[in-house]
Chains A and B, each alone.
Chain A
Amino acid sequence: MTPFLVSDKWYDIRDLGNLSREILEAADRILPFGVVYVLAALIGFVASFLLFVLPSQLIVGVYGERRIIGRMQSRLGPNRVGPFGLLQPIADAIKLIQKEALTPTRADRAVMYIAPIVFVMPAVLLWAVIPFGENMVIADIPVSLMYFLAVSSLPVIATFMAGWSANNKYSLFGAMRIVSMAISYESPLVLALLGAVVMTGTISLSGMVAWADEFNIWMVFVQPLALVIYFICVSAELNRTPVDIAEAESEIVAGYLTEYSGMKWGLFYGMDIGYALAASGFAATVFLGGWTFFGLEQWVPGWLIFIAKTHLFYFLFIWTRGTLPRLRADQLMAFAWKFLLPLGVFNLLIVSTERMLWSEQDYAKGLIYVFALVNIVLSVALVYAWARFNGYRPEQTPTRPRLVKQAGGYIPVGERS
C-alpha cells in the first residue's frame, strides 16, 4: 500500500515546502524581481505563527499550562476571556503592553534595556536547526546538536545582565545563583547527549531522526537514563520547578525579574515558554524520534507528529511544576556533580560498549532491541544503586511522629513513652 498523497505536489501537506514553493514560483512570474523574497519572509512568518507559535506558545504554553496546573490544584484556571478562556494570552499581552516598564532610578539603564532583547534572540535562533519534517528545517547544518547546545547557553548571559543591572539585592541573588549553577548542570547535560551522538554516529539532528527512522527505535528506549538526565538538567537551565532556583518566588521574590515590569517582563515570561518549547522540541528530536512515528509519518504530516511530541514533552514540565517542591542551589549543584555526572559517565560507558558490539549490518540489526531491553533494566538498577551509594536512605526518615499519652517533659528518641 502506498501513501494516498504523492510527494512533490503542492497538495502534499506532509512537506509544506511544496506548497510555499508553488506559491512563490507563481508569484515570481508576476511580481518584479526581488519582491518575492519579501513575500517568502511574510509567508514564513504567517505560517510559523499559525502552525507553531499560536498552538504551542500561546495555547499550550500560556493557556494550557495555566489551565492544567489549575486542574492539578483543584481550581479552574483561566476561563473568562473568550471561549473556554482561550483568549487569555492575548488579554495578558494587551495588559502587559499597556503597563509602564519601570526602570529603577539607580539601575544601569542601558543593560537593563537590552537584557530582554538578548534573552529573546537565542530562543528564536534555536528553532533554526530543529527539523519539523523531512525537508522542513531552516538550517540543516551538520553540527546542529552543538549549535543547539551553544545557543541554548546564551540566555544565562541575558539573565545575569538583567539581574545585575536592576541594582536590587534580590535580582543580584537570582543572577548569581544562575551563573553559579550554570556549569554544574550543563556538564551532565552534554554527557547525556554524547551518548546519543555515540550511538547514532552523527551530530546532526536530521541525522538522528533518520537513524531512529531506519532502525525503528527511539533513542529514549536505547538510553532512558540519558533522557532522565537531560530532563533534570534542562529544567535547571530553563528555571522551571523543581529547580527554579534563580527566580525562586518564595525566597528571592522573582530573582532577576524582580524589577522588571510591563512588556520587558513579558518578553522574559514569553521566552521562558519559548525556551521550554525549544528544549521539548530538541528532546523530541533526539530522544523521541523527531517527526517519525514508526511509519505513520507517511500518512500523517510529520510536522504534526513533531508538534504533538513536543507538547507531550512539554507536559512533563507542567507536571513537575505542579507537584514538586524546590531544591536549594547547593543541593542542585551537589546533585548534578555527585549524582547526574557519574550516571552520565556510566551511561556513556554502556552505550559505547554496545556501539562497539553492534554493527549496522543486517545480520546484527536486531541486536539494538536487545540492547534497549538491557539498558532499561540497567538504568533502573544504576539509578537505585548509585542513589544508595550516595546515601539515599528513605527508610531512615520517619514520616509519622511518635505518639505519647501523657504530657510531660522531653522524651529522647528511642525511649518508649
Chain B
Amino acid sequence: MTGIIKSEPFVINIGPQHPSTHGVFRIKATVDGEKVIDAEMVMGYLHRSMEKLAEERTYTQNIPFTDRTDYLSSMSNNLGYCLAVEKLAGIEVPPRGNAIRVIMAELQRLASHCMAIGAFANDTGAWQTPVMWAFREREKILDIFEVTSGARLTCNYMRIGGVAFDLRPEFEPMVRRVLREFPPFIDEMEGLLSGNEIFIARTRGVGVLTPEMATNASLSGPMLRGSGIAWDIRKADPYCGYEQYDFDIPIGYNGDSYDRFIVRLEEMRQSLKIIQQALDGLPGGPFRTEVPLALRPPKGEAYARIESPRGELGYYLVSDEGPSPYRFHIRPPSFINLSALKEMTVGGTVADAIVVLGSIDIVVGEIDR
C-alpha cells in the first residue's frame, strides 16, 4: 500500500492463546491492515510423543492412547487402531461386534459434528447460541457412551476382536431417543444458520478450495467432499460391514466454508440413517472374539483406514513378533487437512482466516499427537 501515510505489514500471532484456535495452535499471520498476506502454521504445543510411547506398550495397552489423540471422537480412533491390529494378526470380528462398532462410530460422528458446527458458528460470531444448542444434543450421545463404556469422552470401548462390553438394556431406548430428537435439531440449526444472510455473507466464497487444491493436499473428509469430490472411505473401502447399509455421500458445490458446513449437517442426517439400519438389524451372538492378552502378531505390517468425522484416519503398524508394535504411526486427518490452511487464508482478512480455521474443524490433540 502506498500513499501519504507510510504503512508496513506486521506479524500478528493468532494463538496459541486465542479464543478461536480450538486448543493450542498458532498461526503466525503477516497482515497488511486487515488483509492476510502470509500465514505460517506453528504446531507442536500439545505433543505427547504417542507414537514412540506406543512402541513400549502391548497392543491392548495402546488403545487408551488412541482415545487421547482426537479426543472429540475417541470411538472412531479406537476403531481405527483395532482394525489395524486385527488386520495385522488376522482376527475376525463377530457380526454383533461389527454392528455395535458401526453404531458407536456413527454416534461419535454425530457428537463430533455437533462440536464442529457449533464451534464453527461461534467463529463466525454467533455468540455461543449454536454451540450451546449443539452441546445440548451432544450431551445425549455422551450419556449413551457413559452407559455403555463408563466414560463420556475417552471411551476406550473398542477391543481387539470386538468391543469391551455388550450393550446394556438401556442402550436401545437411548439411541432411539437420539434418532427421534436429532432430526428436529438439525432442522433447527439449518433454520438458524443455513439460511441466515449474515452467516452466508461470512462463509460463502471464503476459504475456497478447488478440487485440484483439495486432492493435491491429499485432504479427506468433509473438507474434500465440500469441494465436490465424492470420496468416503465407508463407500470406497468398506470396513465393519458398511457395505450393507444404505446411505449417501453429501458433496458441496464450490468448496468454500459454507459448503463444508452444509456437508457436515447432511452427514449427520446420513449417520442417523446408518444408526437406524444398524440398530434395527442388530445381530445376536458374541460381541468379541477371544484374543490372547499378550498378543504377538506375525511379522509384517498393516495399514487400516476409516472415515473418522474429520476424514481419513489411518493407523500403520509394523510387528516384529514382539508383544508391542515395532512401529506405530497415525495418519491424522486434521493434520493433513490443515496443510491447505495457507492457500485458503492468504488474500482474505483476519476475520476470514478465523472462519476458515473453524471450517477445517481441527483437534489439536490429533495434530500434535
* Interface 0/1 of B333-344, CB less than 8 Å to A: 000000000000
Contact yes or no, B198 A407, CB < 8 A:
no
Question: Residues of A contacting B127 with CB < 8 Å?
Answer: 69, 241, 249, 321-322, 326
Indicate which residue in A253, A401, A413 contacts B263 across the interface (CB closer than 8 Å): A401
Q: Which of B100-116 contact A (CB under 8 A)?
A: none
Q: Which of B38-46, B66-74, B231-239 contacts A (4 or more CB under 8 A)?
A: B231-239
**CA A73 to CA B192, docked complex, whole Å:** 12
Q: Are B351 and A328 in contact (CB under 8 A)?
A: yes
Q: Is the CB of A331 within 8 A of B201?
A: yes
* A326 CB contacts on chain B under 8 angstroms: 124-127, 198, 202
Q: Which residue of chain A has its CB nearest to the CB of B210?
A: A410
State how many angstroms separate the Cβ of A321 from the closest Cβ of chain B: 6
Whether A401 lies near B202 (C-beta < 8 A) is no
Q: Which residues of B are found within 8 Å of A176, using beta-carbon distances?
A: 33
Cα-based distance from A403 to B270 in the complex (angstroms): 10
Contact partner of A251 (CB less than 8 A), chosen from B195, B215, B350, is: B350
A73 and B128 CA atoms in complex are apart in Å by: 7
Contacting A at CB under 8 A, from B174-209, are: 190, 192-202, 204
Does the CB pair A401–B251 fall under 8 Å?
yes
Which single residue of chain A is at the shortest CB-CB distance from B348? A328
Q: Is B354 an interface residue (CB 8 A)?
A: yes
A411 in contact with B228 (CB, 8 Å):
yes
Would you give the shortest CB distance from B198 to chain A, in whole angstroms? 5
* 8 Å CB interface, A320-363 against B: 321-331
Instruction: Select one of B33, B123, B132 contacting A74, CB under 8 A.
Output: B132
Q: Is the CB of A327 within 8 A of B198?
A: yes
| Cα-based distance from A404 to B230 in the complex (angstroms) | 7
Decide: A252 and B350 in contact? CB cutoff 8 A.
Answer: yes
Pairwise interchain contact B229-A169, C-beta atoms closer than 8 A? no
Contact of B129 among A72, A397, A402, A406 (CB under 8 A): A72
The answer to whether B250 touches A403, judged by C-beta atoms less than 8 angstroms apart, is yes
Query: Is B349 positioned at the interface, with any CB of A under 8 Å from its CB?
Result: yes
CB-based contact B198/A325 at 8 Å: yes
B266 adjacent to A400 (CB under 8 Å): yes
When C-beta atoms are compared, the residue in chain A nearest to B225 turns out to be A401
- Does A399 sit within 8 A of B, measured CB to CB? yes
- Are B230 and A411 within 8 A (Cβ)? yes
Contacts of B171 in A (CB 8 A): none
Closest chain-A Cβ to B63's Cβ sits at a distance in Å of 29
Please state if A250 and B354 are interface contacts (CB–CB under 8 Å): yes
* In the assembled complex, B90 has its CB within 8 A of some CB on chain A: no
- Shortest Cβ distance from B123 into A: residue: A250
Report B206 CB to chain A, min CB distance, Å: 9
Per the 8 Å Cβ criterion, residues 285-334 of B in contact with A are none
Asked whether A328 lies within 8 Å of B251 as measured between CB atoms, the reply is: no
Question: Which residue on A lies nearest to B232, using beta carbons?
Answer: A407
Answer whether A169 and B10 are a contact pair too, CB < 8 Å, given A244-B125, A325-B124, A408-B230.
yes
B161 at the interface (CB under 8 A from A): no
Known contacts A329-B34, A407-B232, A409-B230; A73/B133 CB under 8 A: yes
Q: For A248, give its contact among B228, B231, B351 (CB under 8 Å).
A: B351
Does B368 make an interface contact (CB < 8 A)? no
**A74–B263 alpha-carbon span in the complex (Å):** 25
A75 at the interface (CB under 8 A from B): yes
- Checking A73, A251, A404, A417 against B354 with a beta-carbon cut-off of 8 angstroms, the contacting residue is A251
Stretch of B12-20, B50-58, B148-156, B274-282 that contacts chain A:
B12-20
Q: List residues of chain A with CB within 8 A of the CB of B230.
A: 404, 406-411, 417
Residue of B nearest to A73 (CB): B132
Does A83 count as interface, using CB distance less than 8 angstroms? no
Q: Is B259 an interface residue (CB 8 A)?
A: yes
Interface size on A, residues (CB 8 A): 50
Interface membership of A221, Cβ < 8 A: no
With CB as the reference atom, state the residue of chain A lying closest to B127.
Answer: A241
Interface of A is mostly: loop
Q: Is A416 an interface residue (CB 8 A)?
A: no
Inter-subunit contact A399/B262 (CB<8 Å):
yes
User: How close is B40's CB to chain A, nearest CB, in angstroms?
Assistant: 16
CA distance A401 to B250 in the complex (A): 6
Q: Let me know if B366 is at the binding interface, CB within 8 A.
A: no
How far is it, in angstroms, between the C-alpha of A242 and the C-alpha of B351 when the chains are bound? 14
Given A403-B249, A407-B235, CB of A322 within 8 Å of CB of B129? yes
In this complex, the member of A251, A406, A410 whose beta carbon has the largest number of chain B beta carbons within 10 angstroms is A251
User: CB distance A324 to B251 under 8 Å?
Assistant: no
A residues in contact with B125, CB < 8 Å = 241-242, 244, 248-251, 325-327
- Determine whether the beta carbon of B248 is less than 8 Å from that of A324: no
Interface presence of B211 (CB below 8 A): yes
User: Which single member of A169, A170, A403, A413 contacts B248 (CB below 8 Å)?
Assistant: A403
- Give the chain B neighbours of A321 by CB distance below 8 A: 127
Tell me how far the C-beta of B357 lies from the nearest C-beta in chain A, rounded to whole angstroms: 10
0/1 string, A294-327, CB within 8 A of B gives 1: 0000000000000000000000000001111111
A356 to chain B, nearest CB (A): 36
Asked if residues A323 and B192 are in contact (CB atoms below 8 Å), the reply is yes
Nearest CB of chain A from residue B48's CB, rounded to whole Å: 27
- Say yes or no: A401-B133 contact (C-beta < 8 A), given A250-B122, A409-B229: no
Interface presence of B221 (CB below 8 A): no
Partner pick for A413 among B34, B192, B253, CB 8 A cutoff = B253
B330 nearest CB across to chain A (Å): 23
Known: A250-B354, A409-B230, A412-B228. A330 touches B202 (CB 8 A): no
On whether the beta carbons of B248 and A404 are closer than 8 Å, the reply is yes
Q: Is the CB of B351 within 8 A of A249?
A: no
**Complex: how many Å from CA A404 to CA B235?**
11
Known contacts A324-B126, A325-B199; A251 and B351 CB within 8 A of each other: yes
Q: What 6 pairs between A and B have smallest CB-CB spacing?
A: A326-B125, A73-B132, A407-B235, A403-B248, A407-B236, A401-B250
29 CB contacts below 8 A, A to B, read: A69-B128, A73-B128, A169-B12, A173-B12, A173-B350, A177-B34, A248-B351, A251-B351, A253-B19, A323-B126, A323-B192, A325-B121, A325-B193, A327-B198, A328-B201, A328-B352, A329-B349, A330-B34, A394-B197, A399-B195, A399-B262, A401-B262, A402-B251, A405-B249, A408-B230, A410-B228, A411-B228, A411-B229, A411-B251
Which residues of A approach B to under 8 Å, CB–CB?
Answer: 69, 72-75, 169-170, 173, 176-177, 241-242, 244, 248-253, 321-331, 392, 394, 397-413, 417
**7 further A-B pairs in the complex, CB-CB below 8 A; given A73-B128, A321-B127, A331-B201:** A73-B133, A241-B127, A244-B125, A251-B20, A329-B34, A394-B195, A402-B250
